[in-house]
Amino acid sequence: MNKIPEILIHNTVSMPVLGLGTWEMGGRQAPELSEDKKWIEAIETAIGYGIKHIDTAAIYGAGHTEQLVGEAIRNFKRDQYFITTKVSGDNLQFGEVLRSVKASKNRLGIDQIDLLLLHWPNPATPISQTISAINKLLDDQVIRYFGLSNFPVELIREIGFYTDAPIITNQLEYNLFTRNNASYNQNVESEIIPFCLKNGISITAWRPVMKGKIEASTHHLLVALAQKYNKTPFQIALNWLLSKPLMMAIPKMSSKAHILENIEALSFEMDKAHLAHLDVLGI
């Protein structure tokens, strides 16, 4: 199996274009323990197939998802995985950020978090205060890099005043059919992505396969392209997404079939004209 391609961000860190999402592995807002074995095996399988980047968050399963990730990575070497986790938008005061990250690190069982994201912005806490905590975590080498999630342009611009550290990524809801109509940000394709690209900030597309609910049959173009390239509609959708500059995707995959299907989505190139037709499919 081919290695997952990587992108170099800010001349600082290289990250694979395909990672693994973990939302709903081990619970939503509360821990759900009944399927632990299944989730641990899914994460192990993904890493076994060369998926290094694991995306999780402090709030997933109220911390239980991070514990499952910690279990799964235990038998792999440190250079086989790259862990992104997030501090909740409800915990962005200086001390809260430090406490949250310490707890995440303990649950994950690692010495250093590779990439820490601010999960969503919170107007109740001055962002300068949050970034002070980020600067401390970077100085103390508790985290290697930091980034954002669901952040609008004005706030990204403001963060530049409070730190010299590069913003590695902005994680945004983005896929073939969700462009400027995401649940959190309304102007992802028209404003946020162009601004990020101009400033060298990568995009991590969350919900990249629309929770497995792409209704291909209602989209003639998707069906036709899937036939032409001998791929599934999901592979066409993911290939389109990852043809974009500085773009990464983190589908949640718990079945081996989906892991293999999504890795295989990176193995071909579509004609520019076909990509352009897909460009105008979403809103």
Ligand X SMILES: NC(=O)c1ccc[n+]([C@@H]2O[C@H](COP(=O)([O-])OP(=O)(O)OC[C@H]3O[C@@H](n4cnc5c(N)ncnc54)[C@H](OP(=O)(O)O)[C@@H]3O)[C@@H](O)[C@H]2O)c1
Quick count: other Cβ atoms within 10 Å of Cβ 269?
A: 11
- As measured in angstroms, the least distance from the Cβ of 206 to ligand X is 3
In 3D, which of 125, 135, 126, 124 has the Cα closest to residue 116? Answer: 135
Cα 42 to Cα 46, 142, 175, distances in angstroms: 6, 27, 23
Residue 119 or residue 274: which is nearer to ligand X going by CB? 119
Smallest distance from ligand X to CB 208, Å: 5
Residue 163 CB, nearest approach to ligand X (Å): 20
Cα first-last separation, the chain: 35
Q: What is the nearest approach in angstroms of ligand X to the Cβ of residue 88? A: 10
Q: How many helices (H) and strands (E) does the chain have?
A: 10, 10
Coil, helix or strand at residue 198: helix
CA dist 164 and 262 (Å) reads 36
Residue, CB closest to ligand X: 21
Question: In the complex, which residues of this chain contact ligand X (CB under 6 A)?
Answer: 21-23, 55, 149-150, 171, 206-212, 234, 250-255, 258, 261-262
Long-range pairs, 217-222, Cβ under 8 A, ≥24 = 219/281, 221/277, 221/278, 221/281, 222/176, 222/278, 222/281
Least separation, in Å, of the C-beta of 33 and ligand X? 18
Return the number of the residue (136 or 258) whose C-beta is nearest ligand X: 258
In the complex with ligand X, the residue whose CB is nearer, 21 or 26, is: 21
Taking the least distance from each CB to ligand X, the nearer of 38 and 78 is: 38
Cβ closest to ligand X, residue 22 vs residue 104 = 22
